[in-house]
Amino acid sequence: MKRAISFVSRVITVVMFACMLLLAYLAISSKITGGKPDVFGYEIKTVLSGSMEPTFYTGSIIAIKPVQSGTSYKPGDVITYKLQDGTLVTHRVKEVNAVGEEVMYVTKGDANDAADSEPVAHKNVVGSYKGFTIPYVGYAADYARSKTGSALLLIVPGILLLFHAVINILGALRQIDNKEPADSSR
């Protein structure tokens, strides 16, 4: 039973430490890059609406590959593009219309009944979705980007790890005390 508790304790420690490192990396990365956390060449984006459900849900994070050439997408690809007001949208390409060097994409959210009203110029495409999503983590990632969230998500796990280490040290000291011989005067 003690071995099982010890194993579970170690697993919890590793998971908490990994989560703390991941959230710290995302928070610091987003501050350095101006809100665009980058992991292994992919940008991490938070899904803010349900227009692409069930492909990914509101509050999920998705990985997009930044655009190399905005003219290489085909119907069925999921692209992220910038609207005139700077808002980012991630929808599926339904049609590709090319006129000379200008390529326009007709897009539609998977949960929407109709295609988007405005076609997307290839120069507005910022990247494409590559099939990586983690549901609901976007809520925590957005919170981690705030000042309060950054502090809490870095400090609280650190305090919990410190508390866990103190408990382990005290347990080890008790075991050492119990193993000392009763007669220590020779």
- What amino acid positions are annotated as catalytic residues? 49
Distance CA 40, CA 79 (A): 19
- CA dihedral (58, 59, 62, 67) positive or negative: positive
Measured CA to CA in angstroms, residue 46 lies from 55, 135, 149 at distances of: 14, 10, 16
Measured CA to CA in angstroms, residue 159 lies from 16, 152, 164 at distances of: 11, 10, 8
Q: Are 91 and 107 in contact (CB under 8 A)?
A: yes
